[in-house]
Amino acid sequence: MRNMRMHHTLLGGSMVEGAVVGIIMGSKSDLPAMEGCTKQLEEFGVPFELVIASAHRTPEKVHEWAAGAADRGLKVIIAAAGKAAHLGGVVAAYTPLPIVGVPMKTSDLGGMDSLLSMVQMPSGVPVACVAIGGARNAAIYATQILATSDARCAEAIASFKRRMAEA
């Protein structure tokens, strides 16, 4: 299944059957920066759903999406946001699933604002965080989490690491 073919449907918040990774981003403007994430998940063969929802502009949509994530079969969530990047933390408040935060680069502070918003989470509401703009690493890390209980993901990661070692 080519996840990106469903892009327009997913922007409206539709769910993908069989998805195990959820990607949520605060704005459509984050899509180009998150392309490395979606491409890497596709390369690994990991089905995902993608939704645009803002912790500040559409909090009800974030709440509904996050609260139902585990029931839909998601295992890991990747949350990308910039500036006051509270999206990952808000999602973490509504789901027991692991959250991988992707701080987006910003014009004001180069993404440091996003990074600090994600890594300074209160006790009990953890968000793992990759580098500023680290969309591809978020996909790799999410797949590594899945690999702890999914042999297909474990083989995808092992193969990926072999190719990196040979390069």
Binding-site residues, in ranges, read 27, 30, 57
Structure tokens at 126: 């953890």
Q: What is the mean pLDDT of residues 80-84?
A: 92
50 vs 107, more confident: 50
What digits encode the pLDDT tens for the residues 14-38? Answer: 568 899 999 999 999 999 999 999 9
Q: Which residue has the tokens 């680069």?
A: 105
CA 139 – CA 21 distance, rounded (Å): 9
d(CA 119, CA 150): 28
CATH 3.40.50.1970 for the 21-166 domain, yes or no: yes
**Which positions make up the binding site for substrate?**
27, 30, 57
pLDDT digits over 107-130, tens only?
Answer: 889 999 999 999 999 999 999 999
What is each CA distance from 33 to 30, 55, 123, 160, in whole angstroms?
A: 5, 19, 29, 22
